[in-house]
């Protein structure tokens, strides 16, 4: 399988409902919760690509473009965007959808960097 085919096969999509227990005092998704969900989908995409142990080493420039209100559905999409020798970058987008209409918009974007590790937690080649 080529690298491009592996990237395509590793794309990961997760859907979640935004319930009141995940919102802040403005009744919108708490930023920390959004970042946790983003790291999770990024981790799954990175693991599906590498099929090795991976760990998050950084998150870069997470842009909160739109608030995500309670009572909406979110879709998180994780895509491998860069592959190095021992590290890879996964770009994550969060889209918000109204539950009772077809309205959908991009709300949050960010990048996460992962390193593949061996059983001794030392970096290893991804490919």
With contact defined as beta carbons under 8 Å apart, do 78 and 12 qualify? yes
pLDDT of residue 51: 97
> How is the chain split into domains, by residue range?
3-116
How many Å apart are CA 41 and CA 28, to the nearest integer? 20
Geometric angle at alpha carbon 61, from 3 and 52, rounded to 5°: 35
3-116 CATH: 3.10.129.10
pLDDT of residue 64: 97
Measured in residues, the chain has a length of 127
pLDDT of residue 109: 98
Average pLDDT, the chain: 97
How many Å apart are CA 8 and CA 19, to the nearest integer? 31
**Comparing C-alpha atoms, which of 71, 80, 61 is closest to residue 99?**
71
pLDDT digits (tens, 9 = 90+) for 5-57: 999 999 999 999 999 999 999 999 999 999 999 999 999 999 999 999 999 99
Share of the chain above pLDDT 70, in %: 100
């Amino acid at each position: 399988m080529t690298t491009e085919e592996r990237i395509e096969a590793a794309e990961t999509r997760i859907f979640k409902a935004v319930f009141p227990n995940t919102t802040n005092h403005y009744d919108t998704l708490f930023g920390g919760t959004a970042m946790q969900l983003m790291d999770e989908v990024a981790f799954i995409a990175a693991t599906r690509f590498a099929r090795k142990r991976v760990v998050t080493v950084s998150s870069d420039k997470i842009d909160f473009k739109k608030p995500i209100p309670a009572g909406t559905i979110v879709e998180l999409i994780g895509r491998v965007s860069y592959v190095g020798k021992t590290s890879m970058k996964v770009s994550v987008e969060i889209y918000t959808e109204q539950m009772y209409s077809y309205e959908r918009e991009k709300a949050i974007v960010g990048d996460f960097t992962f390193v593949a590790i061996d059983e001794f937690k030392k970096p290893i080649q991804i490919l």
